[in-house]
Amino acid sequence: MSMLQIETDPAGMDPTAVPVAPERGMVGRSPGRLAWERLRRNRTAMVSGWIMLFLVVLGVSAPLVELLYGIGPYEQFQDRIANNSLPLGYLGGISGDHWFGLEPKLGRDIFIRLVYGLRTSLLIATSAAVITTAIGIVLGIVAGYLGGWIDAVISWVIDFALALPFLIFALAVMPTVTARFYGPRDEIDVPFRIAVMILLFAMFGWTGTARLVRGQVISLREREFVEAARASGAGLGHILFRQLLPNLWAPILVTFSLAVPGYITGEAALSFLGIGIVEPTPDFGVMISNSLDYMDGDPMYLIIPGFVIFLLVLTFNLFGDGLRDALDPKSSR
Amino acid sequence: MTHDAADPPYLQVDDLRVRFSTADGEVRAVDGVSFGLGRGRTLGIVGESGSGKSVTSLAVMGLHDPTRTTITGAITLGGRQLVGMPDDQMQKLRGRDVAMIFQDPLSALHPFYTVGRQLVEAYRTHHPGESKAQARKRAVDMLGRVGIPQPDRRFSQYPHEFSGGMRQRVMIAMSLMNDPALLIADEPTTALDVTVQAQILDLLADLQREFHSAVILITHDLGVVSQVADEVLVMYGGRAVEHGTVAQVMRGPQHPYTWGLLASIPSLHGDPDVDLKPIKGNPPSLINVPAGCAFHPRCAYAMKPEPCAADVPQLLPVLADGHRVACHLPEDRRTSIYTEEIAHVGVAQ
Amino acid sequence: MTEPLLKVRGLTKHFAVRQGAAGGKALVRAVDGVDLDVHPGETLGLVGESGCGKTTTGRMLVRLLDPTSGSIEFEGRDITRLGRSAMRPLRQDLQIIFQDPYSSLNPRHTVGKIVAMPLEVNGIKPPGGIKTRVQELLELVGLNPEHYNRFPHEFSGGQRQRIGIARALALRPKLIVADEPVSALDVSIQAQVVNLLRDLQRELDLAFVFIAHDLAVVRHFSRRVAVMYLGKVVEVGDRADIYERPRHPYTKALLSAVPDVAAFGEPRQRIRLTGDVPTPLNPPSGCRFRTRCWKAQDICATEEPALITRDGSAQAVACHFPEPAGPEAAVLVPAQATAHVSEVTE
């Protein structure tokens, strides 16, 4: 291969670099609007987006779905469970009454439990993502713009948090925290468990956003429009929130949409290990954990929740990728 | 190797058209450009951003992404047809028969390899039979030829250890490793300081005399062209609007765009308190090139609507030998406009 | 002569940088003792090659960078160490135009918001409202006032530079530092912007510090010109003196290196400097130009030449062996410079 191969940068020949002087209406198309138009042209992202939206709506309106479906998440259909504790019928008991079949042994309806599981999962994942993003933005902007010792301290904390092994930490913290508030025989409230899980994710998850925002701010703060604001006498608040923040929404939105699926799998993993959500609350991780005992006799019990969580994470990720391409067309291809 | 007037020149470009498809529409980056260039001659291609000057040279190098680009027309280099040539054959030509110098030598050199290693590799790619020692000797020799002091020591240094001007010299040395018959320099001095630019331009001229290659110099700076080129091709909106020897174009420019360029350049001579004469408006988008002559919306002498806004003018010869211009204005009218209105305010006299 | 609007004395900026794997600190002497005067309504051109400190000087003049030492007086008042709140009223008199028409406008703000920013930041409510004032400004710089709600990406480079100019004019400044305002623009657009700045200067009686590497552009815009090399002013004087009778060897070399279309076909003297500009990390002792100068003697390495006027001319030059003053100076060829100077005909 010739040296010239190395020298040529295909991006340098980008035909879109040609100056385009559009003559349109008097009101401009904002960068956000342009991004939306690019997103709409991306079919993968749009299909994922619709599936994602459907799953979110399904989860959020779980009680309504229960009402329409006519079966609750804790109802047991022991009459449809055989003596070997497997559901009667084919494919784990799939039928017109029980769309995704029944759980072995207890005979609970899988579909409605999945819908409620979706709700728990999305609640934990989005709350964790909102909290981590908020912490990340504030610390990232402060570290990036002010620099100096503040940046050094924040960066050190980020490195520290990244160095802690999340799973081991979670395994140690969950029982310790619950023991602090509840006696050994007490029933632990579901909201308390959810809160502790969100807190755990928040403690570890903000570092990614903070790093990203910090890097963006460092590259933005030397831009001449920031200098122009300073040369006009603008204060710190104006520069951080009026000049810099509007330029950060795009990367923040992308990390947010990619963080959610991460927390969904994280939550499922913790519950699978028995330190997150526990029986009888409906949850993906718990379901998959239970299903392992019946893998030979009732594989559908594993396949169905596995597929739903796969679909959820995949659509979130594909949509997040599409969002990134739309907001920053130069980063891809 | 001097070429006979009857022979086709070493590089012959005929009706070259380059199109990109983008989400916003088709970009007509080059729209029917023709020119020839013999060995030992320097052609300056002048134009503003989006004029198609860089795209033309990249087409000669065969460096366009074939999935997004359509190239038609003919590019003949020493008798071989480059348009449609398979990539593996093109790769053999690149670096050996045609070499390129870029505006930014820092991004064109690999930061992790020593300069010497990159020079040796450039040579050995096309001379697989040569030994490493021979290649090294040639590389050191070439570094010395382009004016790098202590080439022996500099051979084993990394690109970041060179200053901007020295890096551009390294790039030139690399492009000359295989004795290319055609050298394309795309804005080679734009990133450099004036005093260094002068050194590099001198160097290019000296080397050309020595190696007798054909040189295409792409630049936005008419001053640079006037200093080093033999011929000038002025491009606008993806088309060639004027082509002639440097004396013809500088002393008797025929196209209103060339007039505009010359009158808008501030100069070290003449009355500095006279306002510059800018060309009104902006260069066109290549997605939506104006109908007819691409320059007509900005042209003070356009005959509208017919023919300037309707027909694309052809690049036709004017009286002087070899001087061609693409303009609908009659030649006597162009000459009278130039002598009466342009020449005295323009800087060319 | 009137009192200068801006008076700069001994302006110095040193940056500490980490150097080498050991992390030792080194000083970059970006600007090293610069004196400048700018009078009301006048343009001072600041020319030099990369690394000469012209941009750093410009940033210090509008207090975007704090000087290491030296003083900046504006209208007789020392503003070198003023804090942000004390500086605020002066910001309105002292504005800056940037080089890069892409990075100088916030991509997420509309044109209206960008131009209104200085008014908003300073809490100024112009009579008739901010929108009217912004539209006046857009019209003043030759843009369609109806484009108020558009975003920067919808404009060409030249139009974006006009938006930056409108923003700088929003507070009705007395002095504008223009840092390479046209060097990122296409040739045909450069002339539009240079003419616009000249018109604005005449109309609004603005003073400019015009920073550029392009000597021809500076000549068209400046009444007086200062030439910088490696953090120092090596020569300063009226435009005619600098361009027709340069006395510093560097100025001479710089002028002869410009590829000028107007000089096409004329035989002329070319001075070719060898090598690149040395690094400001470790500038040469004595005269900083001596490493590339054909006239350098022993004294140049030991003693730094002061920027002084001599032979009764108003042109100050920092050189031990300046070119002679007077109209015949330009045609003189330095005798000992045969290796560097060649007569050429193009």
Task: Quick: pLDDT tens for B107-165.
Answer: 788 889 999 999 999 999 888 888 999 999 999 999 988 888 889 999 999 998 888 88
pLDDT number for residue C60: 94
pLDDT tier at A28, thresholds 50, 70, 90: low
Compute the mean pLDDT over every residue in chain A, rounded to the nearest whole number: 82
C145: number of Cβ within 10 Å = 16
pLDDT tier at A143, thresholds 50, 70, 90: very high
Which residues of chain C does B264 touch, with a Cβ-Cβ cutoff of 8 Å?
Answer: 187-188, 190-191
Alpha-carbon distance C234 to nearest alpha carbon in chain A (angstroms): 28
pLDDT tier at C85, thresholds 50, 70, 90: confident
Of all residues in chain B, the percent with pLDDT exceeding 90 is 36
B90, B82 in Cβ contact below 8 A? yes
**Chain B interface mutation, best of C43, C156, C188, C343, highest count of B Cβ atoms under 10 Å:** C188
> ipTM of the assembly?
0.84
B74 SS3 class? strand
B21: number of Cβ within 10 Å = 13
B22–A7 C-beta distance less than 8 A: no
**Chain A interface mutation, best of C148, C150, C172, highest count of A Cβ atoms under 10 Å:** C150
B24, A20 in Cβ contact below 8 A? yes
Q: Give the mean pLDDT of C80-105.
A: 89
Between chain A and chain C, the number of residue pairs with CB atoms below 8 A apart is 90
CA–CA separation, C173 vs C210, rounded Å?
15
Residue A134 CB contacts under 8 Å (≥ 6 apart), including other chains? none
Which residues of chain A does C164 touch, with a Cβ-Cβ cutoff of 8 Å?
Answer: 228
Alpha-carbon distance A289 to nearest alpha carbon in chain C (angstroms): 48
Domains of chain A: 40-327 (1.10.3720.10)
Q: Is C124 at the interface with chain A, CB within 8 A?
A: no
Tokens of B175: 């492009």
Sign (positive or negative) of CA dihedral A285, A289, A290, A294: positive
pLDDT number for residue B129: 87
The pLDDT tens digits of the residues spanning C212-262 come to 998 999 999 999 999 999 999 999 999 999 999 999 999 999 998 888 887
Q: Give the mean pLDDT of A80-91.
A: 77
pLDDT number for residue C139: 92
C241, C314 in Cβ contact below 8 A? yes
Sign (positive or negative) of CA dihedral C78, C84, C88, C93: positive
* Residues of chain B numbered 270-309 and touching chain A (CB < 8 Å): 282-287
Phi, psi of A261 (to 5 degrees): -60, -30
Alpha-carbon distance A317 to nearest alpha carbon in chain B (angstroms): 24
**Angle, CA A181 vertex, CA A179 and CA A186 arms, to 5°:** 75
A82: number of Cβ within 10 Å = 12
A239, A225 in Cβ contact below 8 A? no
pLDDT of residue C333 exceeding 60, the answer is no
pLDDT of residue C113 exceeding 90, the answer is yes
Compute the mean pLDDT over every residue in chain B, rounded to the nearest whole number: 87
Alpha-carbon distance A41 to nearest alpha carbon in chain B (angstroms): 10
Which residues of chain B does C257 touch, with a Cβ-Cβ cutoff of 8 Å?
Answer: 194-195, 197-198
Q: Is B106 at the interface with chain C, CB within 8 A?
A: no
Q: Give the mean pLDDT of B89-113.
A: 87
The pLDDT tens digits of the residues spanning A259-280 come to 999 999 999 998 898 888 888 8
DSSP B324: E
Q: Where are the domains of chain B?
A: 11-229, 236-342
The pLDDT tens digits of the residues spanning C280-299 come to 888 899 999 999 899 889 99
pLDDT number for residue A18: 38
pLDDT number for residue A19: 40
Question: How many residues can be counted in chain B?
Answer: 349
Q: Is B246 at the interface with chain C, CB within 8 A?
A: yes
Alpha-carbon distance B7 to nearest alpha carbon in chain A (angstroms): 30
pLDDT number for residue B283: 85
Which of C148, C236, C156, C161 is closest to C197 using CA atoms?
C161
B49–C261 C-beta distance less than 8 A: no
Alpha-carbon distance C224 to nearest alpha carbon in chain A (angstroms): 25
pLDDT number for residue C339: 37
- Per the DSSP assignment, residues forming a β-bridge with C208 are C43, C176
A30–C95 C-beta distance less than 8 A: no
Which of B41, B13, B12, B11 is closest to B213 using CA atoms?
B41
Q: Is C160 at the interface with chain A, CB within 8 A?
A: no
C188–B264 C-beta distance less than 8 A: yes
Residue B10 CB contacts under 8 Å (≥ 6 apart), including other chains? B3, B37, B38, B39, B77, B78, B181, B182, B214
DSSP B82: -
pLDDT number for residue B241: 95
pLDDT number for residue A184: 74
Alpha-carbon distance C74 to nearest alpha carbon in chain B (angstroms): 28
Which residues of chain A does C188 touch, with a Cβ-Cβ cutoff of 8 Å?
Answer: none
Of B164, B267, B275, the CB nearest to C260: B267
C136: number of Cβ within 10 Å = 16
Give the range among A9-23, A41-55, B153-167, B251-265 with minimum mean pLDDT: A9-23
Alpha-carbon distance A247 to nearest alpha carbon in chain C (angstroms): 6
Alpha-carbon distance B212 to nearest alpha carbon in chain A (angstroms): 22
pLDDT number for residue C268: 67
The pLDDT tens digits of the residues spanning A222-264 come to 889 999 999 998 888 899 888 998 888 888 888 888 899 999 9
Alpha-carbon distance C138 to nearest alpha carbon in chain A (angstroms): 14
CA–CA separation, B161 vs B7, rounded Å?
46
- AA letter at A96: G
Q: Could you tell me which residues of chain A have a Cβ less than 8 Å from any Cβ in chain C?
A: 19, 21-22, 24, 26-31, 34, 223-225, 227-235, 238, 243, 246-247, 249
Of B20, B100, B285, the CB nearest to A4: B100
- Three-state DSSP string of chain A: CCHHHHHCCHHHHCHHHCCCCCCCCCCCCCHHHHHHHHHHHCHHHHHHHHHHHHHHHHHHCHHHHHHHHCCCCCCECHHHECCCCCECCCCCCCCCCCCCCECCCCCEEHHHHHHHHHHHHHHHHHHHHHHHHHHHHHHHHHHHHHCHHHHHHHHHHHHHHHHCCHHHHHHHHHHHHHHHHCCCCCCCCHHHHHHHHHHHHHHHHHHHHHHHHHHHHHHHHCCHHHHHHHHCCCCHHHHHHHHHHHHHHHHHHHHHHHHHHHHHHHHHHHHHCCCCCCCCCCCHHHHHHHHHHHCCCCCHHHHHHHHHHHHHHHHHHHHHHHHHHHHCCCCCC
A16–B24 C-beta distance less than 8 A: yes
pLDDT number for residue A151: 92
Domains of chain C: 6-229 (3.40.50.300), 248-344 (no CATH)
**Chain A interface mutation, best of C60, C94, C106, highest count of A Cβ atoms under 10 Å:** C106
Q: Is B159 at the interface with chain A, CB within 8 A?
A: no
Compute the mean pLDDT over every residue in chain C, rounded to the nearest whole number: 86
Which residues of chain B does A3 touch, with a Cβ-Cβ cutoff of 8 Å?
Answer: 95, 118, 121-122, 125, 174
Q: Is B67 at the interface with chain C, CB within 8 A?
A: no
Which residues of chain B does C213 touch, with a Cβ-Cβ cutoff of 8 Å?
Answer: 193-194
C150–A228 C-beta distance less than 8 A: no
pLDDT of residue C185 exceeding 50, the answer is yes
pLDDT of residue B344 exceeding 70, the answer is no
**Chain B interface mutation, best of C42, C193, C213, C220, highest count of B Cβ atoms under 10 Å:** C220
Q: Which chains touch C (3 or more CB pairs under 8 A)?
A: A, B
Of B20, B58, B95, the CB nearest to A2: B95
Sign (positive or negative) of CA dihedral A315, A318, A321, A327: negative
pLDDT of residue C135 exceeding 90, the answer is yes
Which residues of chain B does A38 touch, with a Cβ-Cβ cutoff of 8 Å?
Answer: 23
A7–B100 C-beta distance less than 8 A: yes
Q: Is B262 at the interface with chain C, CB within 8 A?
A: yes
Query: A319: left (phi > 0), else alpha (psi -120 to 50), else beta?
Result: alpha
pLDDT number for residue B322: 85
Of A26, A225, A249, the CB nearest to C105: A225
Sign (positive or negative) of CA dihedral A215, A216, A219, A221: negative
CA–CA separation, B260 vs B278, rounded Å?
7
- Three-state DSSP string of chain C: CCCCCEEEEEEEEEEEEEECCCCEEEEEEEEEEEEEEECCCCEEEEECCCCCCHHHHHHHHCCCCCCCEEEEEECCEECCCCCHHHHHHHHCCEEEECCCCCCCCCCCCCHHHHHHHHHHHCCCCCCCCHHHHHHHHHHHCCCCHHHHHCCHHHCCHHHHHHHHHHHHHCCCCCEEEEECCCCCCCHHHHHHHHHHHHHHHHHHCCEEEEEECCHHHHHHHCCEEEEEECCEEEEEEEHHHHHHCCCCHHHHHHHHHCCCHHHCCCCEEEECCCCCCCCCCCCCCCCCCHHHCCCCCHHHHHCCCCCEECCCCCCEECCCCCCCCCHHHHHCCCHHHCCCEEEECC
Residue A53 CB contacts under 8 Å (≥ 6 apart), including other chains? none
What is the CATH code of the structural domain delimited by B11-229?
A: 3.40.50.300
pLDDT number for residue A250: 84
Alpha-carbon distance B6 to nearest alpha carbon in chain A (angstroms): 34
pLDDT number for residue C331: 42
pLDDT of residue C23 exceeding 90, the answer is no
More confident residue, B304 or B236: B236
Q: Searching chain A, which residue's CA lies closest to the CA of residue B118?
A: A3
Of B58, B65, B125, the CB nearest to A3: B125
**Chain C interface mutation, best of B24, B160, B195, B295, highest count of C Cβ atoms under 10 Å:** B195
pLDDT number for residue C6: 94
Which residues of chain A does C96 touch, with a Cβ-Cβ cutoff of 8 Å?
Answer: 227-228, 231
pLDDT of residue A333 exceeding 50, the answer is no
Q: Is B265 at the interface with chain C, CB within 8 A?
A: yes
